[in-house]
Chain A
Amino acid sequence: MSNRDFVKLTSEPLILQDIVDLVKDDGAGAISTFNGTTRNIFEEKSVIRLEYEAYVPMAEKVLLDIISEARTKWDLTKTAIFHRTGIVPVGETSVIVAVSSVHRKESIHAVEFLINHLKEKAPIWKKEVYSDGSVWKENAENRRKC
């Protein structure tokens, strides 16, 4: 991995400040972040916990590809995408995207692009566990087979 793009799937808790520090750069006047948190309610069902499964090497490759694509659109200083795997209790952070750039506009747009494309393409799956069963979720952005 380069020293300006950081991608990781990890079972460890994600700490926003640690990831902000990774993309911090004296030449960058802006750092934009997205912090995704697991919700406690889905269609009035109470979620006890979430379980994330990932095809880790491919997910990391897809995320680096998405970053490369973002870099063709905007001038970005540093980027980071971290995603949890395994059990994530309700209320904890499941994903963090952080981008630095010289001015704010580039990093704000890039963060939205990166999280949208992660949700569409990264081979990561979320299972919601309720008191009476569990369901594998599906993102609305999904690409479908014909």
Chain B
Amino acid sequence: MSKEFTILYYATARDATKMSSEKIPLPSQSPFMSLKDLTMLLKERHKKLAPILEYSLYAINMEYVENDQAILVKEGDEVAVIPPVSGG
């Protein structure tokens, strides 16, 4: 069985994908995926998500990913697409 991680969609991202979460398999040749590769993969899976990803942040395991961090997604991670927030 392939190794996978979970991705969560909220607000505009949930509307665009019509789902709140999904499991995504890691490529068989690598136990990791860069966020750049993840963004490309998500744009292919969900055409309507592409413009939203341009202005969203990622959180991995409930921590925001800062732009300069070379973080890799690994098996079992919970990755969230965080569109601009509007709490309050």
Q: Is B5's CB within 8 Å of the partner chain A?
A: no
Q: Is B62's CB within 8 Å of the partner chain A?
A: yes
Residues of A within 8 A of B64 (CB): 121
Residues of B within 8 A of A16 (CB): none
Whether A143 pairs with B88 at a CB distance below 8 angstroms is no
B20 and chain A: residue at smallest CB distance: A53
Chain A interface residues (CB < 8 Å from chain B):
36, 52-55, 57-59, 61, 83, 94-95, 115, 118-127, 136-139, 142-146
Q: Is B6's CB within 8 Å of the partner chain A?
A: no
Q: Is B11's CB within 8 Å of the partner chain A?
A: yes
Pair count A-B, CB < 8 A: 78
Whether B87 pairs with A58 at a CB distance below 8 angstroms is no
A120 and chain B: residue at smallest CB distance: B85
In the complex, A145→B83 CA distance in Å?
A: 10
Whether A58 pairs with B59 at a CB distance below 8 angstroms is yes
- Residue from B8, B84, B86 in contact with A55 in the complex, judged by beta carbons closer than 8 Å: B8
- Residue from A52, A136, A143, A144 in contact with B87 in the complex, judged by beta carbons closer than 8 Å: A52
Whether B82 pairs with A55 at a CB distance below 8 angstroms is yes
Residues of A within 8 A of B83 (CB): 125, 136
Would A126 and B82 be within 8 Å (CB), given that A53-B10, A53-B11, A136-B12 are in contact?
Answer: no
B interface, over-half SS: loop
B14 and chain A: residue at smallest CB distance: A53
- Residue from B8, B55, B67, B85 in contact with A122 in the complex, judged by beta carbons closer than 8 Å: B85
Whether B86 pairs with A143 at a CB distance below 8 angstroms is no
Binary interface profile of B, 62-88, with partner A (CB < 8 Å = 1, else 0)?
101001000000000000101111111
Whether B84 pairs with A126 at a CB distance below 8 angstroms is no
Binary interface profile of B, 12-55, with partner A (CB < 8 Å = 1, else 0)?
10110000000000000000000000000000000000000011
Whether B84 pairs with A144 at a CB distance below 8 angstroms is yes
- Residue from A94, A136, A145, A146 in contact with B88 in the complex, judged by beta carbons closer than 8 Å: A94
Residues of B within 8 A of A52 (CB): 87
CB distance from B56 to the nearest CB of A (A): 7
Whether A119 pairs with B87 at a CB distance below 8 angstroms is yes
A97 and chain B: residue at smallest CB distance: B88
| 15 intermolecular pairs with C-beta atoms under 8 Å apart | A52-B87, A55-B10, A59-B87, A95-B88, A119-B88, A123-B59, A125-B86, A126-B87, A138-B84, A139-B85, A139-B86, A139-B87, A142-B85, A144-B55, A145-B56
